[in-house]
Structure 1
């Protein structure tokens, strides 16, 4: 398309060869339309390389139309080689050398150009081929890296899915056994069994979290069961799954405050935030829920050392924060779940400590 446009512009400067330039422009536009046809997507991997042959022929015609001036031919020859290097293997680049050389030399010979001009082909063609081979090498390395990353990603997704399913199956048996033991157990044992059941449920939710990561990566979305719930009840239920004492947590939730959320996903969000607050922060931890315009704002604030400014913006990115106690997925899942609700998640500095904030759209 670019070559055709330049040929049309050239008609204004060379009216004596206007008919030839018009023919060149028509050929260029025809090649451009053929090149963008959807049928190439169904063709063989190397089939589009045949487009280079008519492109060389049109370049030769262009040189002849300009009376043997190869000023515009050389750059387009290099451009065709660069395009081929990005998409095809090196043997095709080597196959291009004879037709490209003929497309460059024949018009110069027909228009009786001096030997110095004809000899420029022995400079241009090696340079065009060298540039193409360099581009092809880099493109090949990038394709190999991309294929390797795709294989790693497939392996990771399969591993996470298998791990999550394999964990949930024995957990179901453990839960049934614990519930059966509760039937005739004395009160002290019942309390221990209840604690074990809560942790079993917690492990099951962790397995579901792994499946959530897989669903988010593969589908980009999650199915939510959105309903209006009393905020205080939701928070207290989540606290039952976190190892803490009543003195560690302060609730600041209005009596009539509600949240329009998926109950299970909200619990997953709050448990993640509370776990981080107890692990990296310091008590007391303050959990508050307030209405701000059309959004409800959940805030989990600790009184620890806080988070460095340079880390705060990337805190909710995947694998951005990890170490011996985690792999950096918890806060990323929190943000993905918040976004799935239509809200967001971010960190705000406090003195002392930090506040993890999650917003949810208010009930319609």
Structure 2
């Protein structure tokens, strides 16, 4: 995480290139697998096989996904083992943008904090710094995208970020 923060604050433009989000998701799943095992969580993927590549910084987008998945693991600490599952999905929207979602089966987002969860230094965790979701928002917005979160029927939360298929001007 420290390296991700350092790369965000270093001077200069991000290193953008053509990124296949499905490949990036699969790479992140491999990276977080030790944490998944440690937290007794299953990670599943539902990937749209027909996604175009996007112009993006792959390291920054990896950081977005890692933050969202680790938060999902944390949200399920008190969830029965049989329900500890994270689902990462990709799809192309009708407007051509690409939506990536991370869904957990944890406690969901308390209504009273929902509007603040993407603020820097806001946290509901005793041991948290409140940086993770703020970093997620900053990275996604720097790529011309949007991020949102909602509680899901049946329990848990889903975090979606939507990225355009054409890169914003730097």
TM over 0.5: yes
Given candidates 244, 257, 276, the residue that maps to 2:36 is 244
User: Partner of 1:319: helix, strand, or coil?
Assistant: coil
2:47 to 253, 258, 274: 253
TM-score, normalization: structure 2? 0.80
**Which ranges in structure 1 are unaligned for 5 or more consecutive residues?**
1-205
Match of 2:2 in 1: 207
Tell me the SS of whatever aligns to 1:240: helix
Cross-structure match for 1:328: 130
Cα-to-partner distance string for 1:317-340 (whole Å, 9 max, x where unaligned):
011115333210011000000011
TM-score of the superposition, structure 1-length normalised?
0.39
Other-structure match for 1:228: 18
Q: Secondary structure at the match of 2:99?
A: strand
Q: Which has the higher helix share?
A: 1
Alignment root-mean-square deviation, CA: 2.3
Give 3-state SS (helix, strand or coil) of 2:50's partner. Answer: coil
CA distance in 2, matches of 1:223, 1:320: 27
In structure 2, what is the equivalent of residue 264 of structure 1?
59
Q: Corresponding residue for 1:297? A: 99
Distance in 2 (CA, whole Å) between partners of 1:213 and 1:308 is 29
Cα deviation, residue 266, structure 1? 0.9
The answer as to 2:129 corresponding to 1:339 is no
Count of aligned residue pairs for this structure pair = 154
Query: More strand per residue: 1 or 2?
Result: 2
Pair 1:356-2:151 in alignment: no
Shift of 1:345: 1.5
In the alignment, structure 2 segments of 5+ residues that lack a partner are: none
Are the aligned partners of 2:4 and 2:60 in contact in 1 as well (CA < 8 Å)?
A: no
1:290 touches 1:297 (CA, 8 Å); kept in 2? yes
Query: For the residues of structure 2 that align with 1:247 and 1:336, how far apart are their CA atoms?
Result: 27
Q: Greater Rg, structure 1 or structure 2? A: 1
